Amino acid sequence: MRNLLEFREYLRVFYSKYDVYVKPAGKFLLAFLVLQVINARLGYMDRINSISMVLIVALMCSFMPRNFIVVCATGFILLHLYSLSLEAAIVGFILFFIMFLLFFRFSSKDTVVVALMPILFLIKIPYVIPVALGLVSNPVSAVSAGCGVAVYYFLHFIVSNESALTEMGDDDMMTRFRFIVDGLLENKGMLVVIVAFAITIAVVYIIRRLSVNYSWTIAMIAGVLVQLVILLFGDLVTETGVSVIGVILGSVLALGIGKVLEFFFFNLDYPRTEKVQFEDDEYYYYVKAVPKVTVSAPEKRVKKIR
């Protein structure tokens, strides 16, 4: 355990010392990953479907605010959709415009969530996001999580029905519009996932703020169980086709990620808890003090031998 604590202190010192380099590098990697996945998933427009274009845009994102990554990703998606179908691009633009209004109004700091959610869906582990958000953020982050879910299901519908959209003639514009809008609005699986994620975030947030021992551990376990029950019940009622094994494995992974976050952000020494009582002229105070688990990173000493 001491080695892990020392490693955590090393990371903190390294980040505080080199954050001017770490932040741009992190934004570059995130933008590169997101844009590459978009090109691999869609890839309808050849002009932007190249590694050189992705590198240039990702380099631009590294020197811009994090929200610029979402803007660039949206631009890539709309251009690919335009190459496939004008109607898909228009519906996508309306959808993204509504989400931008919600995102920048309520949870503009959750850029990573919106960017990573579709990617985590592709690799079948999106269930870690609600637990993580409940631990380190607040219930408002449900907006960004919902936006990420909507983006994934919208793109999944477009890719799954690519042949149907291309086979419709030029005179079937309204038919394509209706087909895309109905496919998005009638997607019960998307609604179930959005509700499950929102409730999970709220449950984890409420429990982890309680003044009880091991509140973070209790919160993540309760959140995983709530998420699991809602998803499976929603699948039973609406027949969304949720993978039971995938949900269970994702929930186990969510617990693991939650414990890692707890170690870095809320590692407390509960056996050394102290309770203090004192008063002033108006109130009597009962204070519960739980010390943090800390350790100083050993300093390297170089001994010169003459």
Domain boundaries, the chain: 1-84, 85-267
The pLDDT value recorded for residue 299 is: 57
Question: Of the candidates 164, 153, 162, which has an alpha carbon nearest to the alpha carbon of residue 193?
Answer: 153
Distance separating alpha carbons of residues 189 and 88, to the nearest angstrom: 20
Distance separating alpha carbons of residues 44 and 25, to the nearest angstrom: 29
SS3 per residue for 132-149: HHHHHCCHHHHHHHHHHH
Report field, pTM of the whole predicted structure over 0.85: no
Does residue 56 have a pLDDT over 90? yes
The pLDDT value recorded for residue 254 is: 86
pLDDT tens, position by position, 197-233: 999 999 999 998 888 888 888 999 999 999 999 988 8
The pLDDT value recorded for residue 166 is: 78
pLDDT above 90 covers a percentage of the chain that reads 20
Distance separating alpha carbons of residues 108 and 117, to the nearest angstrom: 15
Distance separating alpha carbons of residues 198 and 15, to the nearest angstrom: 31
Long-range Cβ pairs for the range 210-214 (8 Å, 24+) = 211/288, 213/270, 213/273, 213/290, 214/270
The pLDDT value recorded for residue 265 is: 75
Comparing 8-22, 69-83, 122-136, the range with the smallest average pLDDT is 8-22
Q: Which helix (H) or strand (E) holds 243?
A: none
